[in-house]
Amino acid sequence: MELAISRIIVEQYLRKLRDCLDLDVALVGAGPSALVAARELAAAGLRTAIFERRLAPGGGIWGGGMLFNELVVQSDALPILDDFSVGHRPAGEGLHAVDSVEMAAGLIFGARRAGAVLLNAVTVEDLMVRPDRVTGLVINWTPVVREQMHVDPLTVSARAVVDATGHPGEIARLAASKAGLRLDSPTGAVPGERSMWAERGEIDTVENTRRLCPGLYACGMAANQVHAGFRMGPIFGGMLKSGRKVARLILDDLRA
């Protein structure tokens, strides 16, 4: 039986990885905006995969606010939670409380159920660019990168790449600093996010969700990094709406 177990895992994972080498959409980071986007893109029939550096997907959802595993969502984002069958409770002032563990689990399951593939413990260490367009990712195992092993990576081709890396905005930074691409941002690069202003930050997150250059998009806090938006803390309506917005932008672009 031990041999059968090992063979099943190896064969099934290799099939999964092989199918992710040529994608319509590759999302980097498995936070809330990416999970919402992945569900919509996969449900629309696009070959969609999320590459998550950590072992556990979900981004900043799990910890709620300062490890109190509750978070807040505005009324206008509740339809997205309902789409994922995630519960919520009225908390006054147009705000609703959500159990962060339920939300993380619900978004992950919803994206997978729609057909999006999620590869965890995989780090994106570079981009493919041909010549002025982002065309894919360069990936390696997270433990390999952390241990600084001299192990060459593999590549993933994608018609659209989404930076959903959150506060670091890592993919946009690679595009600007290493690939030399000019981004749709105030500076053409990544000026970084601004300080805490929850109300304004929620608006910025959605407004700043856009295509940065041919083949590259940003959503969630990565979008605020690129456009110098405000941070907002453990309120997630803007993140959910950002994921839906970037999915619709990509669908429009790829179908044009």
H helix runs in the chain, sequence order: 2-19, 32-43, 78-83, 100-114, 142-146, 170-173, 198-207, 221-227, 237-255
Predicted pLDDT of residue 220:
98
Interatomic CA distance for residues 58 and 47, integer angstroms: 20
Predicted pLDDT of residue 43:
98
Interatomic CA distance for residues 146 and 196, integer angstroms: 30
What CATH fold (topology level) applies to the domain 20-255? FAD/NAD(P)-binding domain (3.50.50)
Domain extent listing, the chain? 20-255
For residue 137, the cross-strand partners are 127, 156
DSSP 176: I
pTM: 0.97
Predicted pLDDT of residue 256:
79
Strand pairing category for 22-28 and 154-163: parallel
**Nearest of 193, 168, 30, 182 to residue 112 by alpha carbon:** 30
Predicted pLDDT of residue 149:
97
Q: To 10 degrees, the CA torsion angle through 43, 209, 214, 120?
A: -60
Q: To 10 degrees, the CA torsion angle through 202, 48, 26, 219?
A: -10
**Cβ neighbours of residue 138 closer than 8 Å, sequence gap 6 or more:** 124, 125, 126, 127, 128, 153, 154, 155, 156
**Nearest of 26, 32, 109 to residue 63 by alpha carbon:** 32
Interatomic CA distance for residues 250 and 256, integer angstroms: 10
Per-residue pLDDT of the chain (256 residues; tens, 9 = 90+): 999 999 999 999 999 999 999 999 999 999 999 999 999 999 999 999 999 999 999 999 999 999 999 999 999 999 999 999 999 999 999 999 999 999 999 999 999 999 999 999 999 999 999 988 999 999 999 999 999 999 999 999 999 999 999 999 999 999 999 999 999 999 999 999 999 999 999 999 999 999 999 999 999 999 999 999 999 999 999 999 999 999 999 999 999 7
